[in-house]
């Protein structure tokens, strides 16, 4: 399995590289190997749904390649596109934490691969390596915080 150097997530829509937060940027190669060992690599094609709004699923995803569209639906209305994800993006953290239905759908718009981390595999890793588990949780917290700040900024405009 190929080990990625990092995954990143933007702090603002359309940010330049200096506003990218790097996931597990201070981690060792051994920590990355431990994380990658519990993740499943999954290919997707254009049009494939990775998750659908309303699904029950506790996985978080890391985009290795390709492009994905995030959209939400309100009743019978046409889905509203809210984000596009590409290599390095991370998504699915809400359901990973709160174990509630997916709040959006994510569909491939260009084929690629994602790494899938289930809540159960994460819990096993965290039990064996609590320091690494703690690091990962704080990184997921940074993602949520970044996205909450972005949403708050958008609502205030």
Q: Where are the domains of the chain?
A: 7-152
Pick the CATH number of 7-152 from 3.40.190.10, 3.60.9.10, 3.40.50.300, 2.60.120.10: 2.60.120.10
Across the chain, mean pLDDT equals 84
User: CB-based burial of residue 66 (10 Å sphere; 0-12 exposed, 13-18 middle, 19+ buried)?
Assistant: buried
Query: pLDDT per residue over 78-134, tens digit each?
Result: 888 988 999 888 899 889 989 999 999 999 999 999 999 999 999 999 999 999 999
CB contact at 8 A, 141 and 155: no
Other CB atoms within 10 Å distance of the CB of residue 34: 17
Q: Can you tell me the distance from the alpha carbon of 33 to that of 125, in angstroms, rounded to the nearest whole number?
A: 12
Residue 103 neighbours by CB under 8 Å, 6+ apart? 53, 72, 94, 95
What are the CA-CA distances from residue 97 to residues 46, 53, 66 (Å)?
28, 16, 25
Q: What is the percent of the chain where pLDDT is above 90?
A: 54
Angle, CA of 2, 132 and 62, to the nearest 5°? 40
CB contact at 8 A, 49 and 79: no
What pTM did the predictor assign?
A: 0.80
Structural tokens at position 67: 């492009």
């Amino acid at each position: 399995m190929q080990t990625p150097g990092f995954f990143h997530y933007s702090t603002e829509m359309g940010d330049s590289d200096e506003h990218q937060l790097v996931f597990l940027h201070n981690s060792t190669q051994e920590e990355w190997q431990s994380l990658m060992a519990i993740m499943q690599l999954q290919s997707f094609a254009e049009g494939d749904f990775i998750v659908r709004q309303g699904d029950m699923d506790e996985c978080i995803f890391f985009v290795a390649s390709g492009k994905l569209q995030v959209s939400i639906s309100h009743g019978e209305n046409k889905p509203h596109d809210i984000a596009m994800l590409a290599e390095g993006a991370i998504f699915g953290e809400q359901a990973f934490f709160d174990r509630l239905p997916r709040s959006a759908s994510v569909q491939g718009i260009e084929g690629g691969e994602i790494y899938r981390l289930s809540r159960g595999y994460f819990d096993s890793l965290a039990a064996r390596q609590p320091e690494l588990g703690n690091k990962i949780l704080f990184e997921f917290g940074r993602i949520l915080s970044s996205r909450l700040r972005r949403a708050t900024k958008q609502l205030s405009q």
